[in-house]
């Protein structure tokens, strides 16, 4: 039975390895580089080469005892267990983990999205018996618009208010690079200015083959020169003193949470951009159907609603209530 392969702490029993553990473990399988999934201090880390590169940039070369890179689609046999990574489409290097044992297939999605994003390897559907999915946007109110339309709104606002600078709040890893890539693909060829926290990771993306165009540090650029320009910064910085160096900034934020206007108001966001690196409600349902899984475990997010829906479809489903993965999109969480 599938549940015997994996327990509810995402522990692969036969090989004693934990997936995205929140405390240091002897053996860890890391789905992607966000801080709530990838932590330092594990003994051995199995991850995609891109995820390992991201961890090393964020936490240092020796943030784990040993790194074991595993490419997408390459099965790794350990005793009678086979581990294979498949792209999750969430950020660069993000993987779903397929664990096979005795003819049973378990897929742990990590965070994932289905929509095309040239800064991440495109999501691949993996059929399985047990699907362990996230539910960050697991409520029917989340119906993400197409990011192209959101970027068009940003560019229109820039064109309409050339005397102001647009400060776009984005998480440093993943969202920033995606927004930059979307801007480039929409034809924005001006320099894009970056908060210091973005620089290293954007450079890494470039190194790993994701072209982002002319990026410059926002520091020390004369105020007047930033009118009509786009600046990318972490969400915390756009409401901080840091933002005062910009001419009459329009506070923007790129996040799936931004579809809720009351949330945008609370966060003092003047131009909310609904750009998410997670599945919306429809995509979560689609994925669950397409994987043909008979059992669904929900790791984190709006798990009650997704579990309720799965059960209404005749599936076995339960919430795992995993602590430490994002809670409610609070300030500290990464998407």
Partner 1 sequence: MKRFAQLLELLALTPSRTRKLTALTQYFREVPDPDRGYALAVLTGALTFRNVKPALLKETVLREVDETLFAMSYDYVGDLGETIALIWPHHGDKGGLPRQEDLPGKGDLPGLTELIGLFNTTSKSELPKLIAGLLTQAEINERWALVKLATGALRIGVSARLAKTALAEMSGVPVQEIEEVWHGLKAPYLDLFAWLDGKAGRPDIDQSARFHPLMLSNPIDEEKDLGKLDPKDFSAEWKWDGIRVQLVLGGGTVSLFSRTGDDIAAAFPDVVENVHGRAVLDGELLVGKDFAPGTFNDLQQRLNKKVASAKHLRESPAFIRVYDMLFDGREDVRALGWTARRARLEAWFAANPQTRLDLSEVLPFTDWDDLGRQRRQGADEHGHEGVMIKLRTSPYVPGRPKGFWFKWKRDPNVVDAVLMYAQRGHGKRSSFYSDYTFGVWKGNEIVPIGKAYFGFTDEELKLLDKWIRANTLASFGPVREVKKELVFEVAFDSAQESTRHKSGVALRFPRISRIRWDKPASEAATLDDMAVFVGAT
Q: Contact residues for partner 1 (CB under 8 A)?
A: 139-143, 145, 259-266, 268-272, 302, 304-305, 308-309, 312, 327-328
**Shortest distance, CB of residue 239 to partner 1, whole angstroms?**
11
Distance CA(28)–CA(65), nearest Å, equals 11
Query: Residue-wise over 75-98: b if at least 16 C-beta within 10 A, else e?
Result: eeeeeebebbbbbbbbbbbbbbbb
Considering the complex, state which of residue 293 and residue 305 has its C-beta at the smaller distance from partner 1: 305
Q: Which is nearer to partner 1, 184 or 263 (CB)?
A: 263
As measured in angstroms, the least distance from the Cβ of 212 to partner 1 is 28
Q: Least CB distance from residue 310 to partner 1, whole Å?
A: 12
Q: How far is the CB of 156 from partner 1 (least distance, A)?
A: 11
Q: Which is nearer to partner 1, 211 or 266 (CB)?
A: 266
Q: Give the nearer residue to partner 1 in terms of CB position, either 82 or 285.
A: 285
> Could you tell me the strand order of the sheet in which 27-29 lies?
11-12, 17-19, 27-29, 42-47, 64-69
Q: How far apart are CB 180 and partner 1 at their closest, in Å?
A: 24
Phi and psi dihedrals of 317, rounded to 5? -150, 145
First vs last C-alpha separation in the chain? 32
How far is 324 from 23, CA to CA, in rounded Å? 10
Q: Which residues contact 264 (CB under 8 A, 6 or more apart)?
A: 253, 258, 272
Residue nearer to partner 1 on the CB measure, 129 or 283: 283
CB 291 within 8 A of CB 309: no
Give backbone dihedrals phi and psi of 75, rounded to 5 degrees, phi first.
-70, 140
Ramachandran bin of 301, using left for φ above 0, alpha for ψ from -120 to 50, beta for the remaining angles:
left
**Given the complex with partner 1, which of 9 and 266 has the nearer CB atom?**
266
Q: Which is nearer to partner 1, 44 or 139 (CB)?
A: 139
147-160 and 175-185 are packed helices; what angle lies between their axes, rounded to 10 degrees?
70
**Shorter beta-carbon distance to partner 1: residue 240 or 327:** 327
* Closer residue to partner 1 in complex, CB, 77/262: 262
Tell the smallest beta-carbon distance from residue 163 to partner 1 (Å): 13
> Smallest distance from the beta carbon of 274 to partner 1, in angstroms?
9
Minimum CB distance to partner 1, residue 271 (Å): 7
Q: How far is the CB of 204 from partner 1 (least distance, A)?
A: 33
């Amino acid at each position: 039975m599938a549940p015997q392969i994996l327990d509810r702490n995402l522990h692969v029993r036969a090989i004693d390895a934990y997936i995205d553990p929140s405390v240091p473990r002897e053996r860890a399988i890391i789905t992607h580089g966000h801080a709530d999934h990838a932590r330092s201090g594990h003994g051995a880390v199995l991850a995609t080469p891109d995820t390992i590169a991201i961890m090393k940039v964020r936490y240092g070369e020796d943030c784990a005892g040993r790194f074991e890179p595993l490419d997408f689609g390459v099965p790794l046999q350990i005793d009678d267990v086979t581990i294979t990574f498949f792209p999750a489409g969430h950020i660069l290097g993000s993987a779903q983990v397929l664990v096979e044992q005795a003819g049973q297939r378990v897929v742990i999605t990590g965070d994932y999205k289905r929509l095309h994003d040239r800064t991440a390897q495109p999501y691949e559907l993996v059929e399985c018996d047990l699907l362990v999915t996230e539910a960050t946007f697991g409520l029917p109110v989340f119906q993400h618009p197409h990011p192209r339309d959101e970027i068009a709104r940003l560019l229109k606002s820039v064109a309409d208010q050339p005397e102001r600078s647009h400060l776009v709040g984005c998480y440093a890893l993943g969202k920033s690079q995606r927004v930059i890539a979307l801007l480039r693909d929409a034809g924005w060829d001006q320099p894009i200015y970056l908060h210091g926290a973005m620089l290293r990771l954007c450079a890494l993306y470039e190194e790993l083959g994701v072209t982002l165009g002319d990026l410059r540090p926002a520091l020390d650029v004369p105020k007047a020169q930033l009118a009509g320009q786009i600046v990318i910064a972490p969400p915390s910085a756009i409401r901080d003193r840091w933002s005062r160096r910009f001419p009459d900034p329009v506070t923007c934020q790129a996040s799936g949470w931004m579809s809720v206007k009351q949330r945008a108001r609370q966060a003092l966001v003047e131009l909310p951009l609904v750009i998410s690196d997670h599945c919306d409600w429809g995509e979560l349902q689609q994925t669950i159907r397409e994987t043909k899984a008979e059992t669904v475990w929900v790791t984190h997010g709006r798990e009650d609603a997704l579990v309720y829906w799965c059960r209404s479809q005749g599936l076995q489903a339960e919430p795992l209530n995993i602590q430490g993965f994002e809670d409610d999109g609070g300030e500290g969480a990464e998407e």
